[in-house]
Amino acid sequence: MSALCKLELSQFRNIEHSNLELAPSLNLIHGENGSGKTSLLEAVHVLATGKSFRSSLVDPLIQEGAPEAVIFAENTEHTSFGLKKPRNQKHQLKLGGTTQTNWDEVARAIPTQILDSGSFQLLEGGPKARRRFLDWGVFHVEPQFVESWRRSRKALANRNRLLKSHPLDEPQLEPWNQELVTSAEKMHAARRSYMEQLIPVFQDIHVQLVGQNLSDLTIEYKRGWDEESGLAEALKVNLAQDLKYGSTQLGPHRADIEMRIGKRKAIELLSRGQQKLLVCALKIAQGKLLSAAIGRQCIYLVDDLPAELDRENRERVLTQLLKLDSQLFVTCVDLTALDFIRLEPPKLATFHVERGIIRD
Ligand SMILES: Nc1ncnc2c1ncn2[C@@H]1O[C@H](COP(=O)(O)OP(=O)(O)O)[C@@H](O)[C@H]1O
Ligand SMILES: [Mg+2]
């Protein structure tokens, strides 16, 4: 089990200073609205991924008036993680005392999933949220994926730059086309293989969550270009369109996951409650697949579950999450909303947050 056992925050949002001894299984964080519960989850997320799930800017995370925010954590394997973000300056990230140039290693060491009101974008929102979901999974199980992903981004950026220039220098486009096609094929192979593994795990968890089998619910991965012709041909055929928009219309950056019930989109038919359970099942399935693939559990940050799910579904979702043997951070305003939880210390730690001060 790869849990965090210590978390120390300094001048992060409204949390002036906090030093927490975490439980390996469930960390319950309760307190009034605006007390700092989401900030605590956000700190774990920023440390693990370099990004907040609330804003992409990092400076607003620093406490007002403070020169820098610091987040430090240690896991049960005695590996330390440290992030310092001075105002208006680049961050410093350390893993086991060694400075990191990017988040790859830290993200792999602390795989982190978030379940909050924003997670439902997975169904309601555009394909970007679904690609992020997909790529989170592939990143963690397929170490080569990030390289192909970066190469495709670079090829796309260069190709798009050329598409915008007049007159078009077609010979210059060719090497970027080739680079895009090569990286796209690799990304597609990894994404497809991931989805093939994920779907049965998802179906199993979904049945347990909703208590019945939605037999006509289908999930289909779409690569982002026509399968028959292949991407090289599609780029040629689509050149006029790409020139018109000044950007590449087909490619791995257009991949999506389609969820349908019969012929209709799932979002059009499912109730709000059913949509939420579907998203929870997808996220839980990712955690299960991750441990099966790499033998590490991911950390789940579950923000204000009572606000999102009714009591029965809350209990079902938490039961499935606890079955993963993952470390959970669960926030709520009122603990009675989670009084069905039967865990005891040391597996359970309860923290109360009041105006940025966290007490166990
Ligand atoms: N950079 C900052 N410095 C100081 N306080 C902040 C900063 N950013 C946000 N806050 C405050 O932190 C408080 C805690 O917010 P939040 O973690 O969302 O609370 P909760 O999740 O408990 O409702 C809010 O009152 C917010 O105004
Ligand atoms: Mg909150």
Q: What is the per-residue pLDDT across 116-166, written as a single tens digit (0 to 9) for each?
A: 999 999 999 999 999 999 999 999 999 999 999 999 999 999 999 999 998
Total residue length of the chain: 360
Task: Give the pLDDT confidence of 186-216 residue by residue, as tens digits.
Answer: 999 999 999 999 999 999 999 999 988 777 8
Pick the atom of ligand 1 nearest to 36's CA: 17
pTM tops 0.85, yes or no: yes
Report the DSSP pairing between strands 256-261 and 264-265: antiparallel
Closest CA to 221 of 268, 254, 263: 254
307 touches ligand 1 (CB under 6 Å): no
14 touches ligand 1 (CB under 6 Å): yes
Tell me the HSE value of 359 on the side-chain side, using a 13 A CA sphere.
4
pLDDT of 56 > 80? The answer is no
Sheet containing 26-30: give its strands across.
112-115, 299-302, 328-332, 26-30, 348-354, 357-359
75 touches ligand 1 (CB under 6 Å): no
b/e per residue 41-52 (b: at least 16 CB within 10 A): bbbbbbbbbbeb
Pick the atom of ligand 1 nearest to 62's CA: 1
Q: Which of 47-56, 166-175, 183-192, 287-296 has the lowest mean pLDDT?
A: 47-56
C-alpha 263: how far from chain center: 28
Sheet containing 264-265: give its strands across.
217-222, 256-261, 264-265
Going along the chain from its start, the domains and CATH numbers come out as 117-295 (1.20.1050.90)
Q: Do 48 and 107 form a contact (C-beta atoms < 8 A)? A: yes
Bridge-partner residues for 8, per DSSP? 19, 72
Task: For residue 174, report the phi and psi dihedrals to the nearest 5 degrees.
Answer: -55, -50
Task: Give the pLDDT confidence of 299-319 residue by residue, as tens digits.
Answer: 999 999 888 899 999 999 999
Q: Which of 9, 10, 12, 14, when mutated, tests ligand 1's pocket best, judged by the most ligand atoms within 8 Å of its CB?
A: 14
Task: Give the pLDDT confidence of 5-17 residue by residue, as tens digits.
Answer: 999 999 999 999 9
Report the DSSP pairing between strands 217-222 and 256-261: antiparallel
